[in-house]
Amino acid sequence: MREFDLIVIGAGPAGTPVAMASSMFGKKVLLVDKRDRPGGECLFEGCIPSKVLENAANRYKMLKDASKFHVALKSNPQIHWEEVLKDKEAIIKRRADAAFEQIEKNPNLEYLQGEATFEDEFHIRVGDEVFGFKKVLVATGGKVNLPPFKGSGVEKAWTNRDVFFEKEIPKEIIFIGAGAISCELAGMFNELGVKCTILERGDRILKRVDSEAALSVQNRMIKNGVRIELNVNLQRVDFEDEVFKIFFSQNSKERVLQSEQVLLATGRVANVDNLGLKKIGVEYNKRGIKVDKFLRTAKEHIFACGDCIDAPRFAHTATYEAGIAVHNMFAPMPHEVNYDKNSWVLFTDPQIASVGLSEKEAKDRGFDVDVAKYDYKVDARAQIDKDEVGFIKFVIDKGDEVIKGVQILSEDASSLSGEASLIVANRMKAREVLNSIHSHPTLSEGFGKLAQQIFFKNMMKRR
């Protein structure tokens, strides 16, 4: 039986950085994953494939909108879906192979394909082989949450994992759920001419997102042709004669919709069921493995991070946690995770970016907050781009004037989120943001304009 200083279970954006960093520190590391290459779901079925589609949809939209900028095209634009899929496969292979090559060059790091289960709290089994370890990191990610819907169509419906393996674009899709996955994919497929419908049990889409931003996206989607049905109580999903039938009630009325394809996007849960955690005394539920602020489980030598713990589920957050985990496993002074500076982007139309605390989160935490907003209707760049829908919001603690959070709604919120991250991570105040000089005309100029607006407001109060 072979022994390792560290075994990492899961080679996604949490596990791979931990394995590589630990091996560079001279530790003997085994990295185990069910796939033959590292990358995790983000690379193979999530973030990267969806952004390849988003990129194609955006370019397609630009061509369709060319007339708004007085550009005449000789023919109607067309999308070649099979070529988009080839691009997706090429990018995935390039990234997975590059990561694998780095692993192979590291003499302290071994990669093993297989399913890992705990034999006891110091040994795991992969296939017919048992390995010992001093420490272990569980980074097995998340998986699709499939509620117990009734009907013959549930098992035939798509999840986000299936979308990017279809050789043809369907003519219509019904999305069940109105979270990030549904809203991103519905917007993208709608741009490509697919008839898209979203069924949501709540009274708006994106229920965990800033309400003003979410409603703006919702209105844009409806304007663009996406059908959104709210307050839906889904009853069953059947599949008959190559057609899905969705039965649901809405406002006390029974309804039925039919579609060529259905995509279930009803959330995600931790992928931990088959690890054997219960027999080694590691607590978990469907939300994830229970860890402390140092990412340790109840067993001090067993750590966990990424989508398999109850924390924000983003690839970049998992990589942030990976750095904390490596430090806490091998350095003398432990570091705590701090999600108050976490960030994320929704690639909807317009995009939504959030950094730090939202207004609701800040109030729930007991902060006395003020919210200041810069509206892109008055912005030169937004007017030039003919897309004035959007804003930048600062969530400010009245006590110390620190900007606790930034919310952005913009056609290019993803690019703007970097500055927002620096503002929140460095606990900046409006007057400190004002010290920077933003180029004109750019969308990032809004940060300076908003800081100036807050500064003048505070000066008036002190008069």
CA 70, 72, 76, 80 torsion-angle sign:
negative
Distances (CA, A) of 47 to 84, 266, 362: 15, 17, 28
The half-sphere exposure of 333 on its side-chain side, counting CA atoms within 13 A, is: 0
User: Closest by alpha carbon to 307, among 295, 317, 296, 292?
Assistant: 317
Looking at domain 163-266, its CATH class is alpha beta
For position 146, what pLDDT does the model report? 81
Query: Among positive and negative, which fits the CA dihedral 87, 88, 93, 95?
Result: positive
Residue 309 gets which letter from DSSP?
B
Domain with CATH 3.30.390.30 in the chain: 340-462
Q: What is the pLDDT of residue 144?
A: 87
Has 301 been annotated as catalytic? Answer: no
C-alpha 408: how far from chain center: 16
pTM for the full predicted model: 0.93
3-state secondary structure of 422: helix
Residue with tokens 């997975």: 96
Question: Residue 151 CA to chain centroid, in angstroms?
Answer: 30
Closest CA to 368 of 400, 410, 321, 323: 400
- For the 340-462 domain, the top CATH level (class) is alpha beta
Measured distance CA(269)–CA(405) in Å, rounded: 27
- What is the fold, at CATH topology level, of the domain defined by 2-142+269-337? FAD/NAD(P)-binding domain (3.50.50)
pLDDT of residue 463: 61
Start-end ranges of CATH 3.50.50.60 in the chain?
2-142+269-337, 163-266
pLDDT of residue 167: 84
Residues of the chain with pLDDT under 50: none
Catalytic residue (one of 80, 327, 438, 440): 440
